[in-house]
Structure 1
Amino acid sequence: MFFLLFGTLFLQFSALGAIKTAESYWTLKPNVLVVDVDVAKDVNMVQVPLICREAYEEKNVTWTKNQEEGLEAQGNRIMVTVEGWKGGNYSCFNNEGSYLNHTLVLAQWTFRKIIKNTPGKGYIHCSTNNYGGSFQCSWTWGTNRDGHVAHIKATRAHGKSNISCSLDSNGQSITCLDQDYCPYAEEVECINLTIYFRSSFVVETYSTKFLIMDIVRPDMVAINVINQTSVELGYPQSWSTPASYFPLTFQVKEIRCRKRKKCDCSKPNSLEVTVKSHQLPVTKGMTVCVRARDEFCNSSWSEWSQYKCNTRKNRRQRNGEQKLNKML
């Protein structure tokens, strides 16, 4: 109903030439309007029509801005002027001062200040650890503004997808689920994700699109010791099954480092080898590094798992064996 009233009101005011164009502002969600700010102009003023409710036509209605400033304009339908990025929360009240309704007016500009552009990831980074249809997207807050998520929109290209998203407790990531996603069918339409970030009465829009197969990244590979000369690689428990339909390929390399904490598997190594076998020989004194990715698509590698094959027993092991021998 709000949208129908908004469209009717726009036609009435536009006929009088009181506002710019229909593109100057738009509806983000019920009770929230967004004004497009032209940052190229020194002064940018847009007049926006507000309506309290259809039921209050020809009633005595008063308005306030940000719950403090009383407006001179009265009645069920009023015009407010938004200058630059100075939006506001407009509330309407009846003759007795009881709250009736409100409209939040935000200003959108083309600057990028609420979240940061991370090298290699962009503004919004999305990933998933399997083909279950769920995915997570994260971002990094900017240092100049305090922001929060105002609205999330996620659809497939045809616009009829059943994708639900929720804000995580940390406030800087979302978890989404495409309930119509089928992991055994070919994925042909991208997910279009748009997140609206708000700081005070300013809103910034960030969009990205992707296929699940493009953002899939397995969790770390499990390395199980078989004996002193070999280990077995295990699929992550979170990875999709059956493994025959969702096979992984492994990248393996051996590096030398004195202590495990100082081992850095991410450093380039010319001896990196891609294998499909689940069993690997290991060299004493060397640290084996393993990571995995989907065998059928050029998606991201998992984080490195590592295992060090010790050349000698540590002091605790030796002391324990010495005590045992004395007891015998």
Structure 2
Amino acid sequence: MLVLVGLVLCLAPADALTAFPPKFQVGKLNGDLVVKCNTSEQQVTWTQNGEPEPMAELVAEGQTLTILGLDLPAVGNYSCWAGTVLLDTTYVVVSGTREEGMNVSCQAESYRGSFRCSWTGPRSAVFHARLTRSDGSLGEWVPAAGCCGQFSASFADPSFCPFAEELRPLQLQLEGLSDTSYLNFSTHFFVRDIVRPDPPQELTVQQRGEQLHLAWAPPASWPLPKSYFALLYRLQYELPNGTQVVKYVEGAEETQLQERTRRVRISCQDPYANPTWSPWSTWQDVNAAQQRRLRAH
């Protein structure tokens, strides 16, 4: 038996989304929208957001349901049933919302073709995202994590070659659904422009006569060989009077300091691409490091 329901003159919000629905349709505000029940059943009944009397003017015919004059009270989950058996569900939203300047930020820790993107959006929205890879192939949709207007997702481009010149940018496409609207945004970027290394590791401090010898290793996530993926290092050390001094080292993973030093830390960058410095390592207290070394011997 088909159910035809008249317009109910009151407002009820759509069910809050907690995950991106597997099936959705986007209609124009005040336009008509046809929803199809994916079933072989010829006679079905419809609900909107679980209610047997949808808040919309509907025309049901066989396996299709036409929503007349789609408005905000008419958005939400439309489910078709055969008796008490759920056959299919479609989430209906309103089109026409393209988020300009969604503040999308992507960051890669190295040239391995994997990176993470984050962005802002409506607090009630859910998102998924996909990547058009460097070889032109289209990736799978990836559910976004997050809440309260902050979202993120991780991606990998298996076709990315760290030794080859990037000739075409990657494209990131975002799709979002709020309680009422469809959100769509895309951005292009090169991996070389979003690389920010992790901090260098294994910073050691050793007193050698009047000199302080410092040594370290590249980030564990940084690709090899070192001769090809060179790094510029930035040391910051603090003198006993509190003055902080910066020293740059390229082509080496050790250096000496002539001055008395209280503590040191280090960061790095790829000097041949986007000049974004890694986060600083934690401060290394020189006296504490010397005491640990003495205890070890």
- Select the residue among 125, 149, 155 that pairs with 2:105: 125
Report whether the alignment pairs 1:146 with 2:110: no
| Structure 1 residue 50: Cα displacement | 1.5
Summarize the alignment of residues 1-328 of structure 1 with structure 2, pairs less than 5 Å apart: 31-35=23-27, 44-53=29-38, 55-56=40-41, 59-71=42-54, 73-75=59-61, 76-80=63-67, 81-84=69-72, 86-94=74-82, 96-110=83-97, 123-140=103-120, 145-149=123-127, 151-156=128-133, 159-162=136-139, 165=142, 167-168=144-145, 172-222=151-201, 223-227=203-207, 229-256=212-239, 271=246, 273=248, 275-282=250-257, 283-305=259-281, 306-310=283-287
Which structure has more relative contact order (CA 8 Å, sep 6+)? It is: 2
Aligned counterpart, 2:6: none
1:255 to 1:64, Cα distance in 2 relative to 1, 3 A? same
Specify the SS of the correspondent of 2:193: helix
Alpha-carbon distance in 2 for matches of 1:127, 1:211: 11
8 Å CA contact 2:30–2:70 kept in 1: the answer is yes
8 Å CA contact 1:53–1:101 kept in 2: the answer is yes
Specify the SS of the correspondent of 1:73: strand
Identity %: 26
| Structure 1 residue 219: Cα displacement | 0.8
| Structure 1 residue 98: Cα displacement | 2.6
Alpha-carbon distance in 1 for matches of 2:268, 2:126: 35
| Counterpart AA for 2:25 | L
8 Å CA contact 1:85–1:202 kept in 2: the answer is no
Specify the SS of the correspondent of 1:232: strand
The Cα RMSD (Å) is 3.7
| Counterpart AA for 1:309 | V
Task: Report the structure, 1 or 2, having the larger helix content.
Answer: 1
Specify the SS of the correspondent of 2:78: strand
| Structure 1 residue 309: Cα displacement | 2.9
Specify the SS of the correspondent of 2:192: helix
| Structure 1 residue 232: Cα displacement | 0.8
8 Å CA contact 1:154–1:193 kept in 2: the answer is yes
| Structure 1 residue 235: Cα displacement | 0.5
Alpha-carbon distance in 1 for matches of 2:235, 2:191: 25
8 Å CA contact 2:72–2:180 kept in 1: the answer is no
| Counterpart AA for 1:183 | P
Specify the SS of the correspondent of 1:146: coil
| Counterpart AA for 2:26 | V
TM-score by length of 1: 0.67
Alpha-carbon distance in 2 for matches of 1:213, 1:140: 23
Alpha-carbon distance in 1 for matches of 2:221, 2:186: 28
TM-score by length of 2: 0.73
Aligned counterpart, 2:7: none
- Where in structure 1 are there 5+ consecutive unaligned residues? 1-27, 37-43, 321-328
1:257 to 1:208, Cα distance in 2 relative to 1, 3 A? farther
| Structure 1 residue 101: Cα displacement | 1.4
Alpha-carbon distance in 2 for matches of 1:246, 1:226: 27
| Counterpart AA for 1:234 | A
1:131 to 1:172, Cα distance in 2 relative to 1, 3 A? same
8 Å CA contact 1:156–1:191 kept in 2: the answer is yes
| Structure 1 residue 258: Cα displacement | 7.5
